[in-house]
Amino acid sequence: MVIANAYHLYLRPGIEAIAQMGGLHRFMGWDRPLFTDSGGFQAFSMGGLRKVKEEGLLFRSHIDGSEHFFTPEKAIECQTALGADLITCLDECIPYGADEPTTRAAMERTHRWARRCQETHSRADQALFAIIQGGHSEGLRRQSAEFLVPMGFFGYAIGGLSVGEPKDVMYRLAGFTANLIPEGKLRYLMGVGSPEDLVECVARGLDLFDCALPTRVARNGGLYTRRGRIDVTAAVFRDRAGPVEEGCDCYTCQHFSAAYIHHLFRARELLAYRLATIHNLSFYQRLMEEMRRAVLNGSFEELRARFHQMYVPVEEETRLAQRKRRQEHSPDRDKEEGA
């Protein structure tokens, strides 16, 4: 499945232009499932460029500074015109550390917007997801689920996590909220995450994920292996004749040496970013396929234990330093992705 963002498509090339081309599937040449995010998180990440009102989100384009207003109704109308298979309600996302009154107000506004989205939703061939909010409070998360679940949405997304909180807090709240969603309803954790996040959140009952991390780190030379993430721009890979990872079946590893990928990055050749992205997406897809099989055959806990025995996550201090470096080198792209 591919997720596309209504905020970015609204700004460029424009919803009407895509609709005239026959919808998003035809526009991008993708005949498999498409998911669209309403754009609420991107508007949240704009910081001072946006203002939340009861009617909707007022924001300025990060492209040209022009002013726009997104209501819940407009968010659904845009996604309807795009023709995605799964679409999402507009919600209000808040930063980690917000106080209880702020968190509650945002949650309740998200509920009111969800009702307006549901009333606007008209295409039977589009599945609508509501977004459970409530910040980092279990009590508010429970209230949010108790409000949204009886409304009978196709699936439920968990928003407002992975916004700066420690991982153990994210894992606890993701699992807690997943347990509030009835069996048979898809559980979608938004904006997550790293390989270890995926393993731990599948263990807690989550089904769907989206994250720019594998492509974002790929552009900076970060490549995933079963033993952890490597920096292929490091000198140790200059003379590495073998692939990035032995046994990997991706196009990159089947055709090119680690030394060649290292060279491409050092020379700043555009092919470096493409080949690194192919490798990382293949790694993620393979990991998810393995977890799905393990869930179905009852061996997930064995897979989980094996993963943690081999995989070494990036240390928190290193991760934050790399994130800062990425933002310094490509601030516009990271802002667009909500980094």
Residue 210 is a catalytic residue: yes
How many other C-beta atoms lie within 10 A of the C-beta of residue 86?
Answer: 21
Can you tell me the distance from the alpha carbon of 67 to that of 262, in angstroms, rounded to the nearest whole number?
42
CA dist list (Å): 37 to 43, 221, 295: 11, 27, 27
CA distance 260 to 80: 44
How many whole angstroms separate alpha carbon 241 and alpha carbon 237?
Answer: 9
Q: Are 228 and 53 contacting, i.e. CB atoms less than 8 angstroms apart?
A: no
Which helix (H) or strand (E) element contains residue 170? helix 167-178
> Known catalytic residue: 332?
no
The Cα 332–Cα 320 span in angstroms is 18
Contact 131, 89 (CB under 8 A): yes
Structure tokens at 300: 């997930």
CA 42, 45, 50 angle in degrees (round to 5)?
90
CB neighbours of 183 closer than 8 A, spacing ≥ 6? none
Instruction: Determine the distance from the C-alpha atom of residue 124 to the mean position of all C-alpha atoms in its chain, rounded to a whole number.
Output: 25
Q: Determine which one of 168, 210, 249, 332 is catalytic.
A: 210
Helix axes 195-203, 167-178, angle to 10 degrees: 30
CB 24 within 8 A of CB 84: yes
Longest dimension (CA), the chain: 60
Active-site annotation holder among 31, 37, 85, 168: 37
User: So which residues are the catalytic ones?
Assistant: 37, 210
